Amino acid sequence: MLSPLSLFTTQIVAVLSVLLLAMGYLKADIKSSSSRVFAVIAIFVVFYILNGMTASHIDPNFQLDLSNWQLVIDIGVSAIAGLFMIYCFLIFQESERFPLTLGVAVVVQVLLDSWLNLSQALLGATAFYGLLDVCMDVLQLGFVCLAIYWTLKGWSVDLVEDRRILRWVIISIQGSLIFAVLFLENFLLAGGSESNAAGQAVIVSAIALLTLGMLLVALRFDFISLSDAIKKVTKSGESAEESLTSFSVEGFDAIFKDGQLYKEPGLTISMLAKKLSLPEYRLRAFIHQELGYRNFNAMLHQYRIEEAANSLSQTKNQNLPVLTIALSVGYQSITPFNNAFRQLKGMTPSEYRRKNQIA
């Protein structure tokens, strides 16, 4: 186990690393919602670390008294899992609207957790409080699992190379750490880390090491982009014929749009790269840099919905079922078609058809 001075030093390193990492996110893009949410998460992680410094097993020379702030600290710590879920959604599901039910679930979980902490402190633990406490713990783990799911979900269609790398960083470091801490705190350590000196030392050390590592990686990425280095290495191994292969936007449209490749059901960027005889990483870079899409599915939706809108606007197709049109442009079911159409056109396919007929 760490000595009192070593534990205190580790806690301070963890606090500073978390705050510096949050400042780096904000500096990169202070207007970004995800950056601001991450900054709030960082503050609440600091609350968690400081709360551990109030435990009875902490050496009196390094012990803090935060009793006047305990309610605020409890609320902040309780909100970490829900905020992490929102953070991952904002980064990786940027074209979607955050589900209202999940937002309500986060608020309810935080309020109930705070009420439980206060009630148990005043009235003592009961069987009912214990059952409700377990439900809230499971709900928090569910939030983290959803965050990891959203992070994984769009990896294959993400066209931003650095963000593809970021997905693995979030899953392997941030998501795994939050999940592990929640599981240890709520299910393995009786009374939480505050009542277990060894458990607290392990958790704080993990936070310090991982956040310090992320901070160093972030600083390194300011000077050298890993994705650029990978591209340079890969490019040097290409044949002369491949290196001469290039596309203009017009040339891509001629093949992809006029050739109606976008209508192929289940089309992936890997399949398209093979059809175009291009390395997948070069196709990703072209679509992102030249066409301006950050996500391969977003590009597919754009081409497909424009084709569908054109079909819906034609009088000869006024009795043609919407499902038939959806299938004809490459969708395999009506739900993703309706969602994409509403997102791009601001109305359902049926409403679009009626409005066009009126016009």
Query: Is 222 in the same domain as 282?
Result: no
Please indicate whether residue 54 or residue 216 has the higher confidence score (pLDDT): 54
- Considering 16-25, 165-174, 178-187, the range whose residues carry the highest mean pLDDT is 16-25
Whether 158 and 10 map to the same domain: the answer is: yes
The average confidence (pLDDT) of the chain is 82
Span 256-269, average pLDDT: 88
249 and 224 within one domain: no
HSE-CB for 227 with a 13 A CA cutoff = 13
| Residue 133 near residue 125 (C-beta atoms within 8 A) | no
Residue recorded with tokens 């009420």 = 115
Is position 98 within any domain?
A: yes
Percent of the chain with pLDDT over 90: 25
Reduced 3-state DSSP string for 66-124: CHHHHHHHHHHHHCHHHHHHHHHHHHHCCCCCCCHHHHHHHHHHHHHHHHHHHHHHHHC
For residues 87 and 198, membership in a common domain is answered with yes
Residue 73 lies in a domain: yes
Q: To the nearest 10°, report the CA torsion of 321, 327, 330, 332.
A: 130
Q: Is the pLDDT of residue 221 over 60?
A: no
Do 197 and 335 reside in the same domain of the chain? no
Segment 137-157 mean pLDDT? 87
pTM above threshold 0.75: no
Q: Which of 137-141, 244-248, 351-355 has the lowest mean pLDDT?
A: 244-248
Give, in order, the Cα–Cα distances in Å from 343 to each of 97, 223, 247, 255, 329: 10, 37, 29, 26, 17
pLDDT tens sequence across 169-183? 777 677 888 888 888
243 in the same domain as 177: no
Residues 6+ apart with CB under 8 A from 90: 33, 34, 37, 98
- Report whether 294 contacts 300 (CB < 8 A): no
Instruction: Identify the domain containing residue 197 by its residue range.
Output: 4-228
DSSP state of 158: B
Contact call for residues 35 and 90 (beta carbons, < 8 A): no
* Domain finish residue from 172, 199, 228: 228
Tell whether 250 and 175 lie within a shared domain. Answer: no
Residues 35 and 154 in one domain: yes
Q: Flag whether pLDDT at 357 surpasses 50.
A: yes
Same domain as 146, residue 180: yes
Q: How confident is the model at residue 59 (pLDDT cuts 50, 70, 90)?
A: confident
By mean pLDDT, which of 15-29, 191-205, 243-257 is the weakest? 243-257
Residue 244: predicted pLDDT: 33
66 near 123, Cβ under 8 Å? no
Count of positions (residues) in the chain: 359
Same domain, 135 and 157: yes
pLDDT tens-digit readout, 73-104: 999 999 999 999 999 898 887 667 888 999 99
- Span 279-336, pLDDT tens digits: 888 888 888 888 888 889 889 999 999 999 999 998 888 888 999 999 999 999 999 9
How many distinct structural domains can be found in the chain? 2
Q: Is the dihedral of CA 178, 179, 181, 185 positive or negative?
A: positive
Question: Which carries the bigger pLDDT value, residue 219 or residue 20?
Answer: 20
